[in-house]
């Protein structure tokens, strides 16, 4: 009995020890599973609550890095800028900033010029990078694209410099001429010659100041606040009348397919196309007249003597509503391909020497571009060196533009009239398939 009892007691003790050991092993296993390993620290980091949502709505490009410099989170903009490649931050200066911030916890910011990817051009991408710690293990990198802001600032600086130069030239000339007049007080012929030159410089200065005012006005004002239906035939007649003297001096014929309104005689001969008398544009009369006048004046100034300048207008059908297209064609010197992209820049001149002779300020086409854009239209250019140029204004027709502005939907009776000859059908013009200057109206 004693032996059996001893065996039973030993077995019981062994069972208890086995249970205790199993329980301890199970609890140790659970604790080890919950403890973060070195591998999990690097491969499965967790963003603080709410950070993912905030990063998704930021305008800046965002990148979150872990302790191993691996990308934990990156916005689509960061990939578009080429900041992240293959799961790594691809810009070495930014990567070094992240490492320094991770080491000492300080926020850092720097502006960099990065090569632009995939454009084949040497232009740099200007960015501002800011690095800050995110929790105890992560680093947040925010990158702002400054390229457009830099471009606008450069345009502003160039504009100020050009204005200063353009104003300085006639003012300096007036100063020198006034001294010459004083020195030639006893020579009437010299005084008369110098006074004539002073008049020219004063006129040039007046034109420059006026065009600066006009440019400022079209940039800042809303032309549709005082909009009204403006007849195209009146705009064309006014533009031709504005340039009649210069054209007559150079024996340039101005022709148009737009009939002159009653009471106004249109200069120049040429073919007339029917259907243009009812064309009208919804906008500011003064700005539209200035834009078309600038185009016609440029055509006359840059055309050789005894050539033709043509103005053609027509209605064209577009998905958003009918447009009025006004094309001004000359047989002048033409514009090279490299200059076509810049002719609408302020103070840019294709031929600076000719601009000085004609008194041009380099602001006329910039004004045309702003007027077209503010009226919901556009201006384009076709040109061939030695053959001439065609500048085309496309603006919303009065009825369509007014309906969009007021939210008015045409009735069924108006829809029925659309197919009539005086409705919205396209008017065929000689310019439709032949934009070159040799097919002037």
> Under the phi-then-psi rule, with left for phi > 0, alpha for psi from -120 to 50, and beta for the rest, what region is 335?
beta
Q: Give the residue-averaged pLDDT of 118-142.
A: 81
Residues 6+ apart with CB under 8 A from 115: 124, 125
Judge whether residue 133 has pLDDT over 70. Answer: yes
pLDDT at 186: 83
Question: Does 348 have pLDDT greater than 50?
Answer: yes
Which of 81-85, 232-236, 413-417 has the largest mean confidence?
Answer: 232-236
101-126 pLDDT per residue, tens: 999 989 999 998 888 765 445 568 88
Phi/psi zone of residue 105: left (φ > 0), alpha (ψ -120 to 50 degrees), beta? left
If we measure between CA atoms, which residue out of 369, 367, 359 comes closest to residue 211?
A: 367
Does position 196 have pLDDT exceeding 80, yes or no?
yes
Would you say the pTM of this structure is higher than 0.85?
no
Give pLDDT, residue 295. Answer: 94
Helix (H, G, I), strand (E, B) or coil at 355: helix
Q: Quote the crossing angle between the two packed helices 147-183 and 188-220, to the nearest 10°.
A: 160
Which candidate, 23, 27, 70, places its Cα nearest to that of 45? Answer: 70
pLDDT of residue 418: 38
Q: What pLDDT score was predicted for residue 333?
A: 85
pLDDT over 60 (residue 275): no
b vs e for 31-46, b when ≥16 Cβ sit within 10 Å of the residue's Cβ?
eeeeeeeeeeeeeebe
Distance CA(103)–CA(435), nearest Å, equals 66
Among residues of the chain, what percentage have pLDDT more than 90?
Answer: 26
316 or 347, greater pLDDT: 316
User: What pLDDT is attached to residue 2?
Assistant: 65
Residue carrying the six token digits 């499965």: 44
Rounded Cα–Cα distance for residues 47 and 61 (Å): 17
Residue 248, pLDDT score: 92
> Comparing 311 with 149, which gets the higher pLDDT?
311
| Average pLDDT estimate for 345-357 | 67
Residue 323 has pLDDT above 70, yes or no: yes
What is the C-alpha separation between 367 and 286, in angstroms, rounded? 12
The length of the chain, given as a count of residues: 441
Q: Mind giving me the DSSP string for 229-259?
A: EEEHHHHHHHHHHHTHHHHHHTT-EEEESSP
Q: Angle at which helices 285-301 and 364-374 pack, to 10 degrees?
A: 140
- Which residues partner with 402 through β-bridges? none
Contacts of 332 (CB under 8 A, 6+ apart): 299, 302, 303, 304, 307, 388, 389
* Pair of tokens at residue 391: 């500048």
């Amino acid at each position: 009995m004693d032996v059996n009892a001893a065996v039973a007691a030993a077995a019981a003790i062994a069972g208890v020890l086995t249970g205790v050991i199993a329980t301890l092993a199970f609890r140790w296993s659970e604790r080890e599973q919950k403890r973060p390993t070195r591998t999990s620290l690097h491969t499965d980091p967790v963003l603080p609550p709410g950070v993912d949502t905030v990063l998704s709505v930021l305008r800046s490009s965002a990148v979150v890095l872990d302790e191993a410099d691996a990308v934990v989170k990156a916005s689509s903009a960061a990939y578009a800028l080429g900041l992240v490649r293959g799961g790594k931050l691809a810009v070495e200066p930014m990567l070094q900033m992240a490492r320094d911030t991770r080491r000492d916890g300080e926020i850092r910011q720097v502006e960099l010029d990065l090569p632009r990817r995939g454009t084949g051009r040497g232009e740099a991408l200007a960015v501002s990078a800011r690095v800050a710690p995110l929790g105890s293990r992560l680093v947040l990198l925010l990158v702002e694209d400054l390229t457009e802001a830099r471009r606008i600032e450069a345009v502003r600086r160039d504009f100020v410099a050009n204005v200063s130069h353009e104003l300085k030239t006639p003012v300096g000339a007036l100063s020198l001429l006034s001294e010459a007049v004083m020195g030639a007080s006893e020579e009437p012929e010299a005084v008369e010659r110098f006074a004539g030159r002073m008049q020219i410089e004063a006129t040039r200065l007046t034109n420059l100041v006026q065009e600066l005012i006009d440019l400022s006005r079209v940039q800042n004002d809303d032309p549709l606040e005082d909009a009204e239906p403006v007849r195209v035939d009146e705009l064309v007649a006014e533009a031709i009348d504005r340039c009649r003297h210069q054209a007559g001096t150079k024996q340039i014929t101005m022709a148009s397919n737009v009939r002159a309104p009653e009471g106004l005689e249109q200069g120049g001969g040429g073919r007339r196309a029917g259907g243009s008398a009812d064309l009208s544009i919804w906008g500011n009369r003064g700005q539209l007249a200035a834009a078309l006048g600038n185009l016609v004046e440029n055509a006359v100034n840059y055309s050789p003597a005894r050539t033709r300048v043509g103005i053609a207008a027509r209605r064209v059908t577009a998905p958003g509503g009918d447009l009025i297209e006004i094309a001004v064609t000359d047989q002048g010197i033409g514009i090279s391909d490299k200059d076509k992209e810049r002719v609408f820049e302020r103070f840019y001149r294709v031929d600076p020497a000719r601009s000085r002779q004609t008194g041009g300020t380099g602001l006329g086409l910039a004004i045309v571009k702003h007027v077209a854009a503010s009226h919901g239209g556009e201006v384009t250019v076709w040109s061939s060196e030695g053959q001439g140029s065609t500048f085309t204004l496309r603006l919303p027709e009065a009825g369509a533009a007014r309906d969009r502005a007021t939210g008015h939907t045409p009735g069924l009776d108006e829809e029925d009239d659309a197919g009539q000859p005086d409705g919205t059908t396209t008017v065929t013009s000689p310019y439709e398939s032949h934009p070159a200057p040799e097919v002037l109206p």
